[in-house]
Structure 1
Amino acid sequence: MTSNKPYLIRAFYDWILDNDLTPYIAVDANYPQVMVPEQYIDEGQIVLNIAPASVGAISMAGDVIEFSARFGGKVQNLYVPFEAVGAIYTRENGVGSSFSVEYPEEAEGIVEQAEAAKPEKKGKPTLSIVK
């Protein structure tokens, strides 16, 4: 059987809009074929506002969510496979649903290599007075 995830996300999206709320999705930015602005990725995840008033030409056909949105004043085209979505919820009250993100078998090694190549965080930055 095919995944029910796209159907559930589309249903939650419609339900959120029907209740005049703002739909947000949490996306695993490391998932294969995800195209999102890299400078807004935090710890491998990005949260996106997908309300019709905030995006242009949103399409949820097939296996992907495609739309354009402004980031830092520039329009960018985003491409998010449904399987990369970890949650859909409302901005106003957080009601929604979370999902597991399961990588295709051939992608698991690539993700592990990418995570290993990331530099370690060194802790909190400190300020000092320079005279």
Structure 2
Amino acid sequence: MTIPVSPDTQGASTRPYLIRALHDWCTDNGYTPYLAVYVDGSVQVPAEYVKNNEIVLNASFEATSSLQLGNDFISFKARFGGTAREIVVPIDHVIAIYARENGQGMAFPAPPAGAQPPLVEGGGAAEAAPRGLRLAETPSAGPAPGDEATPPADEDDEPTPPEPPGGGRPSLKRVK
């Protein structure tokens, strides 16, 4: 006999717990936790740094202040181009969390289509939809020679986080 499971009996989403766990794992191991975020009207990030309705955010304690990894939202303050900005990301818009240094982490499905209008104007929803993350076929070799740790949030340095090793998209490695 199969017992039907309704959405209200499934409990809370596991996504915020997994994000917190991977953030802790990155921090405990000296890695820099990066969040890949799907951006639409419900996400508060600097629009000038959004590409293809996605942004990658350095979520380390050194690069943020007042970091809150809640069950519904992630919020913090960070500097972009020397200007302090308030960042607010709904949990269901986090499409990956990974370590910058080695690409290890976890990807999540993007929010349901039609939940919010896309941020990018001039195109239909199909054109503005993110392409998603791809798992790396081979593990990444780690940071490039001379690659240094991300500076603290109060330093006025490079406004966008460096690209993950191996290209423009994050490389994720399955950890079992």
Select the structure that is richer in strand: 1
Match of 2:59 among 21, 31, 50: 50
Residue 70, structure 1, aligned to residue 79, structure 2: yes
Partner Cα distance (1:37, 1:87) in 2: 19
Match of 1:94 among 81, 103, 107: 103
Partner Cα distance (2:43, 2:37) in 1: 9
Aligned pairs for 1:4-83 (under 5 A) are: 4-30=14-40, 32-83=41-92
The 1:71–1:116 alpha-carbon spacing in structure 2 relative to 1, beyond 3 Å, is: same
Select the structure that is richer in helix: 1
Q: Percent identity?
A: 40
Q: What's the RMSD between the two structures over aligned residues? A: 2.4
TM-score after normalising by structure 1: 0.79
Unaligned runs of at least 5 residues, structure 2: 1-9, 128-176
TM-score after normalising by structure 2: 0.60
Secondary structure, counterpart of 2:20 in structure 1: helix
Q: Read off the aligned partner of 2:61 and give its amino acid letter.
A: P
1:111 CA drift (Å): 3.7
Q: What is the number of residues matched between the two proteins? A: 116
Partner Cα distance (1:77, 1:59) in 2: 12
1:82 CA drift (Å): 0.9
Partner Cα distance (2:46, 2:22) in 1: 24
Q: Read off the aligned partner of 1:20 and give its amino acid letter.
A: G
1:107 CA drift (Å): 2.0
Unaligned runs of at least 5 residues, structure 1: 119-131
**Deviating 4+ runs (over 6 angstroms):** none
